[in-house]
Structure 1
Amino acid sequence: MAINLQKGQRISLEKSNGSKLQSVCVGINWGAIEKKGLFGFGVTKEAVDLDASCALFDDAKNLIDVVYFGNLRSKDGAVQHSGDDLTGDMDGDDGLDNEVITLDLSRLNPAVNYVAFVLNSFRGQDFGTIPFASIRIYEGTPKRVNEVYATYDIGHSKDFAGHVSMVMGVFYKKNAEWKFNAIGEPTRDRKLEETVKTVSQNYL
């Protein structure tokens, strides 16, 4: 059964049968912005380019690697990005993730202690104007969902209005066990590099 993550909640990466998750996917699903036409007639769709990214840090909070639309694979091969989605769902929620980052914990460089997931609005479109946006963590592949482990709704909160970047959550290693912290905090950053710096300063 999936856990509905709440902001600030920490969970251990253990499945319902007691086994540990090794390979997980973090999927982002979002919709295009609807705009009413002149004098209220008709509706037009404005493409939304959200970018899911992953930053890897060591125990001393030094940045080791960043996986994003311009670098789709980590050096150790443990993290892979499905590719850049430039529009979002143009015809309503199709239930599919627009971008997926796959994380194989067993292949991670042993020096990695934190794996942070962030979201940036590439064109500077305000999160508060996007009709829906959610994150889900599941076992499987970008094209096959075996078991949804957790879901986290980031599109229905006034906290995100006026912001174009956020920290979704951080996987972290404690006593040789991986856990997940659902952060869900908007930041004042405009670009990915700034968001990664904010993560290292405030969320590890």
Structure 2
Amino acid sequence: MDLGTTPRTTASLLSRLGTGVEARNQLLVEEWAGIVTWAGDHIVDSPEGAATITEGYLDTGVPIAGDGAPLVSEFALMELIAVLGRTPDGGRAYVGRVIECAWRLPHVYAAVVAGRLAPWRAETDRRPHPPPLSRRGRVRGPATLGRVRGRVGAAREAGGRGGAAVRPRAGRGRPAAGG
């Protein structure tokens, strides 16, 4: 399909894409460093800073990361989230993951800053895990997986959304992949 672009070799296209990925990661590392510096400047660790009335509202320290990470000023957090161009909930979660990584997992944060670990990989392990299965799910899950094991990919077995759905074939007792 011709989109009116100049023809390129695959090698040059992949090189350009790789350079873009490296640039994006470097910008993310700089953003992370800025967020950590910002958090260090907005830690609320005293009663005076924990409850400040600003224009009729109470500004408190909010726990956006896990134990051991600092509380940060709620009003300052909303300003940072606006600068980052994120929604309040998404921005709070993002800044919380960065702060948690920097304060609770300093070796991981150091690897990100040194360029040995991509920021998205450092965030991946911090995301909330799905809730545990119900009793019915714990009983039926292994039986269901036993019927389809070997006929579906590992991601689908692990509960992923990708891949083909597995449904029983009409008139037969065996499951079949279908769309």
Larger strand proportion of the pair:
1
Instruction: Determine which structure has greater relative contact order: mean sequence separation of CA pairs < 8 Å that are 6+ residues apart, divided by chain length.
Output: 1
TM-score of the two chains, using structure 2 as the length reference = 0.22
TM-score of the two chains, using structure 1 as the length reference = 0.20
Larger radius of gyration: 2
